[in-house]
Amino acid sequence: MLYGISTVYSVALWRKGFREDNRVNYLLLLAGYGLHFTAMVLRGFSLKQCPVNNLFEATMFVGWALVTAYLIIGVVSRLRFLGAFVSPVVFTLGVFALMPALDPPHAAAPQFTGWRTSLHAALILQAYGAFALSAVAGLMYLTQEHNLKFNKLRAFFSLLPPVQRLDTITFRFLRNGFLLLTLGLGLGGFVMEKHEVNYFADIKVIWSGVVWVAYLALLAGRMRFAVAGRRFAWSAVGLFAFVLLTFWGSNLLSPIHHQ
């Protein structure tokens, strides 16, 4: 509910061209995060491991990682405007996670347990949270660029940073997410090898490999061929949209991850 209120407030900020401080939005997300984090901790203790055993838990973990990253960087007032883009994403994920079919009862203990498995899942889901923030920053870039072209007065009074800074923020989030994804995938191979499972033949792992290659190509384009600005922003948004739309299907088709 608090994420929903934050989303409504964010719409108001959008309509006013981001001419107001986002402190209220930050506090709304902080309050929602407190309840979100408490629920995840209680569920984790009930399962005695990191709560990432089904699509409901994975979705809520991605949302948690996204808000965690925002609350850390939102301490800097100049970056607090990110909340107006984060809250609609988190609210949508939360509503999606409430679908009953995503949270079936745990009939048996998960097949893979231990701190390495929890760390593997946490790293990868935090990577998706960083990719979400890169897409959010990309959307802000496109918004500010549009204002500069068609409504220069709104761009002048807006609290959004210059497009150059937004471009840099998009790149940094994407780079950090790629590093987390790389570490998570590498650790996953080590964990499954201990259980004598063909990790690299799993459909979810193959899908993750495709995502890894796609983000690698985007980073290479940025660092090697100076792909930046509008093209880079659209690529970050489009690639995360692909992740968001296909994550659930790959998870359901995976014998290892769908328990």
pLDDT tens digit sequence for 75-94: 877 677 778 778 888 888 88
In total, how many domains does the chain have?
Answer: 1
- 186 in a domain, yes or no? yes
Is 259 a member of any domain? Answer: no
The pLDDT value recorded for residue 238 is: 93
Q: What is the pLDDT of residue 58?
A: 79
Q: What does the pLDDT read at residue 114?
A: 54
What was the pLDDT predicted at 239? 93
pLDDT of res. 112: 45
Rounded distance between C-alpha atoms, residue 199 and residue 191, angstroms: 9
**What pLDDT shows up at residue 122?**
73
In a domain, 90, yes or no: yes
Residues 123/180, Cβ–Cβ less than 8 Å: yes
Q: Does any domain span residue 257?
A: no
Overall pTM surpassing 0.75 (yes/no): no
Residue 82 belongs to a domain: yes
Task: Assess if residue 258 is contained within a domain.
Answer: no
Q: How far apart (Å, rounded) are the C-alpha atoms in residues 54 and 57?
A: 5
**Model pLDDT, residue 116:** 65
Residue 149 within any structural domain of the chain: yes
Q: What is the pLDDT of residue 17?
A: 58
Domain of 154, in residue numbers: 2-102+112-252
Amino acid 12: pLDDT: 76
pLDDT at 34 (0 to 100):
95
Is 107 domain-assigned?
Answer: no
Residues 74 and 82: beta-carbon distance below 8 Å: yes
Give every residue of the chain whose pLDDT is below 50, as ranges. Answer: 107-113, 155-157
**Contacts for 94 with CB less than 8 Å, ≥ 6 apart:** 3, 60, 63
What is the model's pLDDT at position 111? 46
